Amino acid sequence: MLKIFSISAFKDNYIWLLQEANSPYCVVVDPGDAQPVLEYLLANRQQLAAILITHHHADHCGGVATLLEHFSVPVYGPAGESITTVNQSVANGDKVNLPAINAVFQVYDIPGHTKGHIAYYGQGVLFCGDTLFMAGCGRLFEGTPEQMHHSLTTLAELPDETLVYCAHEYTLANLAFAKRVEPDNLLIESRMQHAMQLRQRNIPTIPSTIQLEKATNPFLRCHEPAIKSAAENFSGKSLDKAVDIFHVIRQWKDNFKL
Ligand SMILES: [Zn+2]
C-alpha cells in the first residue's frame, strides 16, 4: 500500500514523498529544496530510493544536487528539458519502475507550462507538477495554448477516481477565479468552503480527483456552455473552438486579482 506525505517548501510548494508501508525506502517528487527532505528522512529513519522530476524550474529540482551528495539514486526527469542532475531521461509512454516502493509509473508528456513538462501516473495517483492545479492550471511560460489545452485534455481522460497531486498550494485563489468564471456552479462554492476549512488547520488541499477537477476546474471545462459564454463576455468575441476559449480563460486568470 503506497503512502504519500507532503513536505512543505518555500512559500507554497509541496514536495511529495512516497513510501511503501513498513519499508525504509521512499521516493520524492520535485524536491526544489533538499533541507526539508533530509530532515524528514532523518526524523523518520528513511532512505531515498529515487527522485522524480516533472520540469526544470528550480523550485522543483533545485534540491536534487544536495540530495545526490547523500544518496546515490536514479533521478527521473523529462527527456525534453536539460536538467544536469537528471540521470534517467523519460518521455511519453515510458515506464518508471520503482521496486523499492513497489510502484510503477507511466510517463505522459504534458507541455505548456514548460516545453518538456512530464507527469507520472500509476497506482491510481497522478503527479502533474505545475500543469494541472487544483481548480486551475499552470501559466504558459514556454508552451502554446494548444499544447496546454491538449495536455490538460489528456489528464482529464484519466480515470475519475485518480488522485491528483500538483506542486503548489494555489487552491483558494484558483477557486475564487473559478467562481468568477462560473458563478452558478454550486460545486465550486462547496469546494471552496471545504478548502478554507483545510487551510485554516494548515492541511494541504491536495490531492483532489480527476472527477472533482472536471466538475470545478474552468480549464477542464472549456466545452461547457457556461464557460464559453463567460469567455465570450470577457473577450467581447464569439469563440467556437475549445482551445480559443481556453486561451481567453488563461489570459483572464493571468490578470485576475482577488
Ligand atoms: Zn514551474
Per-10-residue mean pLDDT of the chain, 258 residues long, equals 96 97 94 98 97 98 98 98 98 98 98 98 98 98 98 98 98 98 98 98 98 98 98 97 98 93
- Rounded Cα distance, 85 and 28, in Å: 14
Question: What's the confidence (pLDDT) of residue 1?
Answer: 85
Q: How far is the CA of 110 from the centre of ligand 1 (A)?
A: 12
Please give the span between the terminal C-alpha atoms of the chain, in angstroms, as a whole number: 40
> For cell 489528456, what's the residue?
154
Q: How far is the CA of 92 from the centre of ligand 1 (A)?
A: 19
Q: How far is the CA of 87 from the centre of ligand 1 (A)?
A: 20
Q: How far is the CA of 157 from the centre of ligand 1 (A)?
A: 23
Question: What's the confidence (pLDDT) of residue 257?
Answer: 86
Q: How far is the CA of 194 from the centre of ligand 1 (A)?
A: 26
Q: How far is the CA of 3 from the centre of ligand 1 (A)?
A: 25
Question: What's the confidence (pLDDT) of residue 258?
Answer: 77
Whole-model pTM: value is: 0.97
Question: Which candidate, 134, 234, 206, 148, places its Cα nearest to that of 176?
Answer: 134
Compute CA distances 31 → 68, 127, 161, whole Å: 11, 13, 26
CATH no., domain 2-254: 3.60.15.10
The answer to whether 97 and 81 are in contact (CB under 8 A) is: no
Question: Which candidate, 233, 139, 141, places its Cα nearest to that of 180?
Answer: 233
Q: How far is the CA of 237 from the centre of ligand 1 (A)?
A: 31
Q: How far is the CA of 64 from the centre of ligand 1 (A)?
A: 16
Q: How far is the CA of 149 from the centre of ligand 1 (A)?
A: 17
The domain ranges of the chain are 2-254
